[in-house]
Amino acid sequence: MSKFKKRKGGGSPGISTASLPDIVFMLLFFFMVVTVMKNEDLMVDVSVPKADQLRKMEDRSLVSYLYIGKPLPQFQSEYGDAPQLQLNDKFSSIDRISYFIQAEKDALPEDKKDKMIASLRVDGDVTMGFVTDVKTELRKAGQLKVNYAAIHGEVGK
């Protein structure tokens, strides 16, 4: 008889989870640093029209937004209450659209430049003449892929 018995079927030791919080916080920090948030401060009032036949954009990184609408109250003293064009975070004239489109295309990789889409977010009260002028400048700039932003809803209500 021996004092020490052999243990049969002891199994393998459990996995240590002591470093798990370190890994989680490291991943969290990584994604916080790498993630890019695109925040544009709207300076115009845009009530996007309703539409019943919509398609989602496939790759939003290829979309450049042009906002057209009445300036917000804090900007009306300087710009009036006539519809204005906003490109990125500042008001702009229609003749600056070609520079805006070129700068947006320059920021894209070479293989995606021809896939860029100009998305018009137009207030429902803006006249079609202003929108036509914007579309004409987009055509002159070589930007032929244009869409209108809308929200899902029944038209006419």
Residue 116 resides in a domain:
yes
What CATH number does residue 54 fall under? Answer: 3.30.420.270
Total structural domains within the chain: 1
Residue 38 resides in a domain:
no
Residue 33 resides in a domain:
no
Residue 63 resides in a domain:
yes
| pLDDT tens track, the chain, 157 positions | 567 666 666 667 778 888 889 999 999 999 888 887 666 678 888 887 788 888 887 788 888 999 999 999 999 999 998 999 999 888 999 999 999 999 999 999 999 999 999 999 999 889 999 999 999 999 999 999 999 888 887 766 5
DSSP structure class, residue 19: T
Instruction: Give rounded-to-5 percent helix, strand, coil for the chain.
Output: 35, 20, 45
Residue 113 resides in a domain:
yes
